Amino acid sequence: MGENILTGIGGLDLLVDGGFPSGSLILLAGNPGTGKTVFSAQFIYRGAADYGENGVYVSFAESREVFLRNMLDFGFNFEELERQGKFKFLDMTTMKEEGVSSALELLLNEVHRLDAKRLVIDSFSAMAQAFEKPIDVRMAVHLVLNRLVRQLGCTTLIIVEVPMGSERVGVNVEEFVADGILMLRRDEVEGRLIRKIEVLKLRGRRLKDHRYVFTLDGGFKVFPSFALKEIGKPRPFKPLPDTPTHFSTGIIELDEALGGGYPRGSIVLLEVDENVPRGGVSSILNPVRLNFINNDNGVFSIPSAGLSADYVKEGLEPYADRRLFNRNVRIVEFEEESQEPYTIALRGRSIMDDYEKFWEHISTFKAETGKPVLGTIGYDTLEYTYPDDTAILIQQMVKTAKRIRVSGDLRINIVRPAMKITPHARYISDMYFKLVEVDGSLCLYGLKPRTGIYNIEVDVKEEYPKTRLTPII
């Protein structure tokens, strides 16, 4: 070994330093339903279709007919690869112990005939049940290891079923001389499915992280840890159209999930977990802010705790029409005076005085333009600024909700789980979302309305930040 082969698994090659070592033996373990067959099929399919590496899939658990039909759902047309002589499926579902030797001989012959560079054994757990003695299991493994992997340079995946409720690889697999061990898991976040892959071992690699979130949406895709990418030459954000009943969220997938976006005249709550990385909140707020700005509507913001007006500006101005930004955007700074035209200076001494001043700016804007307004309010900043006025904050939140519903504007309130105001914010909200960090991934899910979990990525290919949501299924 020394060279790498690309796995064909979306996102994985970058995370494991270029793919699997060529000619390696990889154990793929997990409970039933964790995605092992999809991973293995994609490894074989992409190898044959994209990388010129023929493959053999040996199944002791699933018939050829069922396998081919199920894989078509992911866009894997294995019958076409068979016609091209690039792939062979060996159905061993009816094999008994006396047929093990001939089955392994058939496997070797097919690998030779196709000059296969990829092999999957699905599953070794099922194959092992045909043996009476553990010594026979180890002998079969050494046959595969020595003759296929080492001598022929055939990169091999061996699937291992982990019983439900167990975290142990099992079936004597710990005795294998494996080059890599991957564990797939199903987990939950508030009753919602989350999928995880853990790299327990990969020979010769120093990995930055070992656990990642993945999805089976359109195939097996692994998500890197969330990070904002630099944009060299910023271009204007391309706004999505609003409708007579909804404001676009600025995120295509979220608009689709919500039936058009945020309803006009609604109160949206974004509850942010303490571990969400810097820039995480902006990945949800900036698309809707930019959509409002570039559709010539108003944006009034109180930044979340620790963020300045300049920080909010830097995430918006490069991707907005300069004239519209200067006219339509106002961001609160808690200081005596501000020289910037896009800021509203509040003193932070009297919540009632500051509240009235903020609304005065919004009312003036609406009177002059007749345009709707998006308000994004960091209530962690308000709770910190007015620590003794929680009751008044709640009163003003309720009062504001009534105004928004009458005016047809949009308000997004940002809170943290431990804040005093959070239970009240949940109650008055029309829509309620949580933003959380899971093994480095940034994830969003809805409680009102209830949704599954979406992974968040920010695409910058078009030279502006374009948030993408991928469902975890």
pLDDT at 397: 95
**What span, in angstroms and rounded, lies between the C-alpha atoms of 355 and 273?**
27
Quote the tokens at residue 171.
Answer: 């079936």
Quick one: CA dihedral 122, 125, 131, 134, positive or negative? positive
pLDDT band at 175 (very low <50, low <70, confident <90, very high): very low
Partners of 155 in the β-ladder: 118
Longest Cα–Cα distance of the chain, Å, equals: 87
**What span, in angstroms and rounded, lies between the C-alpha atoms of 209 and 223?**
12
pLDDT at 172: 53
**What span, in angstroms and rounded, lies between the C-alpha atoms of 454 and 283?**
13
pLDDT at 219: 97
Integer angstrom CA distances of residue 124 from 46, 377, 395: 22, 55, 63
The DSSP bridge pattern shows strands 221-222 and 211-215 to be: antiparallel
The DSSP bridge pattern shows strands 55-59 and 25-30 to be: unpaired
Domains in the chain, CATH or no CATH each: 4-222 (3.40.50.300), 246-471 (3.40.50.300)
**What span, in angstroms and rounded, lies between the C-alpha atoms of 364 and 124?**
71
Q: H or E element: which one contains 458?
A: strand 450-459
Map residue 128 onto helix, strand or coil. helix
Quick: pLDDT tens for 381-392.
Answer: 999 999 999 999
The stretch 7-24 carries a mean pLDDT of 94
Partners of 438 in the β-ladder: 441
Spatial contact of 304 and 414, defined as CB atoms under 8 Å apart:
yes
Integer angstrom CA distances of residue 458 from 28, 39, 227, 319, 320: 30, 25, 8, 14, 17
Average pLDDT over the chain, rounded to an integer: 91
pLDDT at 174: 47
Integer angstrom CA distances of residue 447 from 190, 269, 374, 431, 455: 10, 10, 22, 8, 16
Going by C-alpha positions, the residue among 106, 105, 66, 100 that lies closest to residue 88 is 106
Going by C-alpha positions, the residue among 158, 52, 58 that lies closest to residue 108 is 58
Partners of 59 in the β-ladder: 91, 122
Could you give the angle at which helices 280-294 and 309-316 cross, rounded to 10 degrees?
Answer: 60
Least reliable range by pLDDT among 136-150, 262-276, 456-470: 136-150
**What span, in angstroms and rounded, lies between the C-alpha atoms of 11 and 9?**
6
Is the pLDDT at 181 greater than 90? The verdict is yes
pLDDT band at 93 (very low <50, low <70, confident <90, very high): confident
- Please state, for a pLDDT cut of 90, what percent of the chain lies above it: 78
- Please state, for a pLDDT cut of 70, what percent of the chain lies above it: 91
Going by C-alpha positions, the residue among 443, 454, 434, 450 that lies closest to residue 272 is 434
pLDDT at 178: 85
